[in-house]
Structure 1
Amino acid sequence: MEEALFFTPEEHRQLIALYKKILQLSGETLLKDDCHKLKNHLIAAASSKSIPRNVFGMNSIIKDMQTAVIVSEEIGMRRASILGIMLHESVKCGFCSLESVQQEYGEDVAGIIRGLVKINELYTKSPTIESENFRNLLLSFAEDMRVILIMIADRVNLMRQIKDCPNEEARLEVANEAAYLYAPLAHKLGLYKLKSELEDLSLKYTQHDIYYHIKDKLNATKAARDRYIDAFIEPVRRKLEEAGLKFHIKGRTKSIHSIYQKMKKQGCPFEGVYDLFAIRIILDSPIDKEKQECWQAYSIVTDMYLPNPKRLRDWLSVPKSNGYESLHITVMGPEGKWVEVQIRTERMDEIAEKGLAAHWRYKGIKGETGLDEWLNSIRETLENADSDMEAMDQFKLDLYKDEVFVFTPKGDLYKLPQGATILDFAFTIHTSIGSRCIGARVNGKNVPLRQTLNSGDQVEIITSSTQTPKRDWLNFVTTSKARTKIRQTLKEIAAKQTQFAKETLERKFKNRKLEYDEAILMRLIRKLGYKNVTDFYQGIADETMDVNTIIDKYLELQKRESEQRDEITYRSAEAYNLQQPVEGKDYYKDDVLVIDQNLKGLDFTLARCCNPIYGDEVFGFVSISGGIKIHRCDCPNAKDMKSRFPYRIVRAKWAGKSQGKQYPITLRIVGHDDIGIVTNITSIINKESDILLRSISIDSHDGLFSGMLTVMVDDTGKLEALIKKIKTVKGVKQVNRG
């Protein structure tokens, strides 16, 4: 009767089915009395009501049984792991002791339970596993690495079961941890199937609309995609059969999470992800012929379809540290679409699906003891790894470091030096295309001329009949051909423009019945800030200097010299510096910020990389030391922080009033090099009763000054008003917030 109260009717049906499944999967490894003792133990635990449901309302015994099935069926672990999973909840809740488990089932089972209980204690102390705790977490499992495998399986099971759970906050926490902790861990251990499932389910729970948008797009294009894969596979199949190879081929689409990462990285919609397809050729080869037949299949595929050499991954010659073996190559299929082809044997495929447990089983080692060598190597890797999450990423194979390989839309391959730009590629194709280039479409996305190319990019050059080479092109092209052709064309254009501008100026003088003195004109050219006569005439040609204005200035200079007047001394703004002493008080340490859920009085500092002030849209970032740094939402570092450390981001908003609380802001001002302009700017700031000028630093170059001003202001409203006033000063060309 008690047991019926512990399990709902649906859970009771699940219990019987799961128990049979576990016996089927692990019966051969269980000892004679294991099943009987485990059954009695679970009945007693259910009757005692000592094992509570979890935060999602799930029955713990059912959940553990589901995890045991995953561990057994999808990873290949046996007795100790299964018993450890089924018994650890009873130990954690105090229904039985670790000593009694050790006496009944052995030290192997007790050791796994010890590790699982330790995980629970760590979670109790630190509900959010941040990067600093991540290293401690991994090292605490180093006693028995099977615990990590069970953790991953348990998280996969949990993610599968919580889709309809009403506890949204708990589901988001579980999903975020799956993405930044468990999925990279599964990847490191070679559990690629479980890793993909964790990533997809995490995306489903954290970004529901994006997940279903991609899923619906995949469903809508499934028929066309299947037809394409069939058309791609058929000729490959024929050639492999003719070569006498035993094999089967599977076509698949990238996971939803993988497609979303491509969309983010390339900044393109679903339709712009160009390598959706992947084909897996699985050979039935004897072990002594595995490599030979894999490379034979590789040769057949690359003879039929043009390969991208940058995308070759040879984990056949040197397997990954986790035992993964395979050949990966991306080729250009029909219609100019990229297709990834993976070539492996049946043995390699099982290792890829089930991880290292399968790897050691193939080495002829029976039972779980064969995992010891692998577990020791993984333990060493984790102990030596950096605490940063990126240390858990796959090892990247960087071939051809000094070259990039780029494709045209038709599939033609071009080789360029590392760092080559769109413009370099355009000149590589043809000089006329380079001269008329205005941009390109790279992998379906519009990009500017200076965009650096990466190996494997598919590039379509965009030209315009009105485009001509520009001098600043020389600042970013890298190939000698592009540089030479640009210089040559610029010289030809400059010579024509200079001659035309000179003729235009002479004609204007003549039209106004004036004769000009060459010496006065030379002095005027220098006064206007030009280094030489060619630049002066180029300014006329570029229409940055009006001919009538030049004549007016010439007449003014001529009149001044003829009347023998003293020329007003021209003073540069160079080295105009001001440093104001500032009272040593903290300008913002009051409760002006509400952080996360209406918390005030937290220790925070304003980030120096973006200098937020009252009124800016801001967010908080939890630093390793525990304090919170406040950043502007448009901070140049914001995107990187949110993508790499989403769990350290907290909400923040300004509260109260800004009056009396001042913030240091740096303004960069560019204008004509005249000390009078700087004086006018400082006068405006000094007239503002609630704005304090702390420092000015001025540099001048080529007739312009560049000034860095630090002011103390209350909020964004007063800052914007000040910027508007400074912009009204005659001679000021640009005002930007630092």
Structure 2
Amino acid sequence: MLRQYELVDRVLDYDPEADEALLNRAYVFSMHAHGSQKRASGDPYFSHPIEVAGILTDLHLDDETIATAILHDTIEDTVATPEEIARLFGPAVARLVDGVTKLSKIEAQTETARAAENLRKFLLAMSDDIRVLLVKLADRLHNMRTLHHIAKPEKRRRIARETMDIYAPLAERIGMYEFMKEMQTLAFQQIEPEAYESISRRLEQLKIGGGDKIAMIASGLTLLLTRAGVDAQVEGREKHPYSIWRKMAERHISFEQLSDVMAFRAIVPTVEDCYRAMGLIHRRWPMVPGRFKDYISTPKRNGYRSLHTSVIHAGNARIEIQIRTPEMHAEAEFGVAAHWAYKDKVKAGNQTSWIRDLVEILDTAASPEELLEHTRMAMYQDRIFAFTPKGELIQLPKGATPVDFAYGVHTDLGDQAVGAKINGRVVPLKTIIENGDQVQILRSKGQTPQPNWLNFAITGKALASIRRHLRHTERDEQLKLGRKLLDDIVHRLPAQIGADALAHALQRLKLPDEPALLIAIARRTLSDAQVMESLMPGAAGGDVGHALAPQKSAISIRGLTAGVAYDLAQCCHPVPGDRIVGLRRPDAGIEVHVITCAVLSELAERAESETDWVDVSWGETEGAVARISIEVRNEPGALGVIATVIGAHKANIINLRLDNRDTGFHTNTIDVEVHDLPQLMRLMAGLRAADAVNAVERV
């Protein structure tokens, strides 16, 4: 553990103007506050905040941040109060300490909810001052270094998983790759101990078997560059175990098949030297196609700049080489924190626009699960680059569509998108954007987010915004419908109801307020008879539980008597010829699904004990209704073509709905009555053959 004078001397070495008295006060206060508290390792608890502060001195952070690190656990774990911290150390340090303080008193019902609430408050705090994140990452890094002292394996794995899912991606997003790599390695050791041991053992065997191969290759690279007049400092290393394991999993290959386990870094004086060195290396060894990346001309969103390439070195060894300047290297190692060393705090603040996106997601997430899903999407996906018509660079995850691009530019643009042009060509909004594409979003003030966008949008910001709009729209529509249905129910009562009747009805139905009643009526979770009975007992005139039970049909059921009541599931719309299965729940008839229906998969995963599976088969039937989605060109007569094709196949249109409309294409959902599956397949093939039709899918 660092002594008081050692810690202060470290700070004064890189910042002679630091407030020495502030650091001394913080050290003494924290030591007295934590007193005799012990960590799981048996060390004094006070050693932890001092080691966190020591980690941050390596980043050359300012005195307020170092004081915050020393004090970061005092409010949570001691009797110290925020007011006391503000009085003794100033409002800036108090605000930072409050932002970093762990939120242990949060009461939530599930681990997911607790993690989401911690993440929510943490993101809000760090959006105000990025130093909150720097202290928190150093805190988590030291906790991971001492994680092996915790006795319970399940607790170690939980902390490691949280580190892998949240803190390592956060470190990566602000460019602190050394923090990220060490946290990933320590977490991987707990989550996949056998894989970690196996890869580590093989890396050791590789060292022994190949001699000092890394040093020899590094020496050869240095010689190549210096002979050409490029002053280069070259170093090499094996990739860390988690990086190797992830590549093996992504490529579905064994360790022996993985050729690029060695990485080299060349530090050269200027940007011009970077490109010159790259040319020299490519002239000396063949480049691996598709592996050259220029992050100098097009930096990553976190500010990372470097040239990357992979070459086939002597003996068919594939090696990765990174080339950068000393300033780029400092930023690559420590990201935003590096700007404190360069006294460039303004630039550090400008590199956190992605945090604003995360904070916007906080306002739109409907549940803890949705918040965690969208946040991880925003933090931890491979990126591509696309351009606006004015040349502005927009970074997106691989697989992104114009909808994601529009929301990446601005939420209003996403909400109003009606179409897109990629490289000047009109395309559907679900088209996948390629690296380097120029994207123009076509907008209309009358447009609103469409439900089918959820099928192809992939960014957390886009999904959160679409779902928020749909929730509000659905609620408004349900309230209007519920009000209309309730007025009709009241009109059918045998007498006019009193002023208190609605309040008593809510009590009988155990609903909190009138909007909840209206939504329940609109969703048909309450029958008309139940509402009538709650408003005026006896008005329903019978057993309200079965007063309005829908009429069921009958099909053959192997092992049961014919004539059992059933419903054809609305999620998959089975038709004669589909392989089907029945689903029976308590107090309900049998629901018939296609065997491949996604709802069945969800139920199987939940393993619902009260759900019975029933083996069913088609009996005699005159047909069924299938639902298909048709994407047609936006041109006169297109719907007439569809209707003609459907009529020619002796099918009948039951319902048609326009789901999506943009400049070039319309997407319609059509319910058609068909005899059986072969007829449906012939119909879909006929539709696909029509020139006006772009795509046909069964819903």
Q: TM-score range by the shorter chain?
A: 0.5 to 0.7
CA displacement 1:261-290 (0-9 Å, x = unmatched): 01111222211212112111111x1xxxx1
Q: Which one of the candidate residues 560, 565, 584 is aligned to 1:581? A: 565
CA contact (8 A) 2:4 2:27 kept: no
| Partner Cα separation in structure 2 for residue 170 and residue 359 of structure 1 | 36
| Partner Cα separation in structure 2 for residue 136 and residue 79 of structure 1 | 25
Which position in structure 1 is the counterpart of 2:88?
Answer: 104
Change (3 A) 1:666 1:116: farther
Q: Which one of the candidate residues 276, 279, 286 is aligned to 2:264? A: 279
Q: Which one of the candidate residues 334, 359, 366 is aligned to 1:383? A: 359
Alignment of 1:186 with 2:160, yes or no, is no
Alignment of 1:79 with 2:66, yes or no, is no
Deviation at 1:257, TM superposition (A): 0.3
CA contact (8 A) 1:275 1:340 kept: yes
Change (3 A) 1:630 1:29: farther
Change (3 A) 1:132 1:314: farther
CA contact (8 A) 2:263 2:320 kept: yes
Q: How does 1:129-528 map onto structure 2 within 5 Å?
A: 134=119, 137-225=122-210, 227-283=212-268, 285=269, 290-359=270-339, 361-362=341-342, 364-365=343-344, 370=346, 373-374=349-350, 377=353, 379-384=355-360, 387-393=374-380, 396-397=383-384
| Partner Cα separation in structure 2 for residue 134 and residue 250 of structure 1 | 37
CA contact (8 A) 2:188 2:242 kept: yes
| Partner Cα separation in structure 1 for residue 229 and residue 616 of structure 2 | 73
Alignment of 1:63 with 2:48, yes or no, is yes
CA contact (8 A) 2:76 2:102 kept: no
| Partner Cα separation in structure 2 for residue 230 and residue 208 of structure 1 | 29
| Partner Cα separation in structure 1 for residue 615 and residue 307 of structure 2 | 55
Equivalent AA in structure 2 for residue 663 of structure 1: W
Equivalent AA in structure 1 for residue 234 of structure 2: I
Choose 1 or 2 for highest CA Rg: 1
Which position in structure 2 is the counterpart of 1:506?
Answer: none
Number of equivalent positions: 431
Alignment of 1:662 with 2:638, yes or no, is no
| Partner Cα separation in structure 2 for residue 69 and residue 607 of structure 1 | 57
CA displacement 1:543-567 (0-9 Å, x = unmatched): xxxxxxxxxxxxxxxxxxxxxxxxx
| Partner Cα separation in structure 1 for residue 92 and residue 131 of structure 2 | 11
| Partner Cα separation in structure 1 for residue 21 and residue 171 of structure 2 | 33
| Partner Cα separation in structure 2 for residue 344 and residue 665 of structure 1 | 65
Deviation at 1:167, TM superposition (A): 1.9
Scaled by the length of structure 1, the TM-score of the pair is 0.51
Which position in structure 1 is the counterpart of 2:536?
Answer: none
SS of 1:338's partner is: strand
CA contact (8 A) 2:31 2:46 kept: no
Change (3 A) 1:700 1:161: same
- Larger mean CA deviation between 335-344 and 127-136 belongs to 127-136
| Partner Cα separation in structure 2 for residue 233 and residue 43 of structure 1 | 46
Deviation at 1:332, TM superposition (A): 1.8
Change (3 A) 1:653 1:208: farther
Deviation at 1:665, TM superposition (A): 6.3
| Partner Cα separation in structure 1 for residue 359 and residue 34 of structure 2 | 39
| Partner Cα separation in structure 1 for residue 23 and residue 146 of structure 2 | 26
| Partner Cα separation in structure 1 for residue 80 and residue 192 of structure 2 | 41
CA contact (8 A) 1:357 1:371 kept: no
| Partner Cα separation in structure 1 for residue 40 and residue 111 of structure 2 | 13
CA contact (8 A) 1:607 1:630 kept: no
| Partner Cα separation in structure 1 for residue 108 and residue 612 of structure 2 | 41
Change (3 A) 1:385 1:666: farther
CA contact (8 A) 2:61 2:340 kept: no
CA contact (8 A) 1:111 1:144 kept: no
Deviation at 1:117, TM superposition (A): 2.7
| Partner Cα separation in structure 1 for residue 20 and residue 229 of structure 2 | 48
- Larger mean CA deviation between 37-46 and 143-152 belongs to 37-46
| Partner Cα separation in structure 1 for residue 11 and residue 80 of structure 2 | 24
CA displacement 1:23-66 (0-9 Å, x = unmatched): 2322345424224423442343244x5xx556776643211111
Scaled by the length of structure 2, the TM-score of the pair is 0.54
Q: How does 1:543-622 map onto structure 2 within 5 Å?
A: 581-582=565-566, 587-588=584-585, 608-609=597-598, 611=600
CA contact (8 A) 2:8 2:20 kept: no
Equivalent AA in structure 2 for residue 103 of structure 1: R
SS of 2:267's partner is: strand
Alignment of 1:42 with 2:30, yes or no, is yes
CA displacement 1:130-168 (0-9 Å, x = unmatched): 568745541343222211111111111111002142122
| Partner Cα separation in structure 2 for residue 340 and residue 29 of structure 1 | 42
Which position in structure 2 is the counterpart of 1:699?
Answer: 677
CA contact (8 A) 1:611 1:664 kept: no
* Aligned residues with identical type, % of pairs: 23
Which position in structure 2 is the counterpart of 1:725?
Answer: none
| Partner Cα separation in structure 2 for residue 664 and residue 69 of structure 1 | 64
CA displacement 1:518-543 (0-9 Å, x = unmatched): xxxxxxxxxxxxxxxxxxxxxxxxxx
Which position in structure 2 is the counterpart of 1:644?
Answer: none
Equivalent AA in structure 2 for residue 389 of structure 1: R
Which position in structure 1 is the counterpart of 2:691?
Answer: none
Change (3 A) 1:631 1:192: farther
CA contact (8 A) 1:250 1:280 kept: yes
CA contact (8 A) 1:316 1:327 kept: yes
| Partner Cα separation in structure 1 for residue 118 and residue 614 of structure 2 | 35
Change (3 A) 1:113 1:227: closer
CA contact (8 A) 2:301 2:351 kept: no
| Partner Cα separation in structure 1 for residue 133 and residue 223 of structure 2 | 44
Change (3 A) 1:389 1:46: closer
Change (3 A) 1:225 1:122: farther
Structure 2 unaligned segments of length 5 or more: list them.
Answer: 363-373, 387-433, 436-554, 557-562, 569-581, 588-594, 621-673, 683-699
CA contact (8 A) 2:221 2:234 kept: no
CA contact (8 A) 1:385 1:391 kept: no
CA contact (8 A) 1:329 1:341 kept: yes
SS of 1:322's partner is: coil
| Partner Cα separation in structure 2 for residue 607 and residue 85 of structure 1 | 54
Equivalent AA in structure 2 for residue 165 of structure 1: I
Equivalent AA in structure 2 for residue 268 of structure 1: I
